[in-house]
């Protein structure tokens, strides 16, 4: 159960990070004052989110592997 929640959380963060970088036409995410919607935030903030996503995926797969081994 925890692994599924971690994967969902990583997916949501991944989509949010993708939308923050791409900023699709028709959405003005950077105009509403949301710092996570601004594609011009410093690179290290993007790197932190990517590392959190990677950590969530790794922990989720480790949890799934541990439950299959038992």
Confidence (pTM): 0.68
- Mean pLDDT across the chain: 78
Of 8, 23, 18, 24, give the one whose Cα is nearest residue 49: 18
Burial class (CB in 10 A: 0-12, 13-18, 19+), 64: middle
Residue scoring higher pLDDT (55 or 24): 55
2 has a pLDDT exceeding 80: yes
Q: How confident is the model at residue 1 (pLDDT cuts 50, 70, 90)?
A: confident
Q: Is the pLDDT of residue 8 over 90?
A: yes
pLDDT bucket at 21, cuts 50 / 70 / 90: confident
């Amino acid at each position: 159960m925890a692994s599924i929640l971690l994967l969902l959380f990583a997916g949501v963060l991944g989509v949010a990070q993708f939308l923050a970088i791409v900023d699709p036409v028709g959405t003005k995410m950077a105009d509403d004052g949301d710092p996570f919607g601004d594609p011009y935030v410093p690179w290290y903030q993007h790197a932190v989110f990517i590392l959190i996503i990677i950590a969530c995926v790794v922990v989720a797969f480790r949890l799934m592997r541990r439950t299959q081994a038992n």
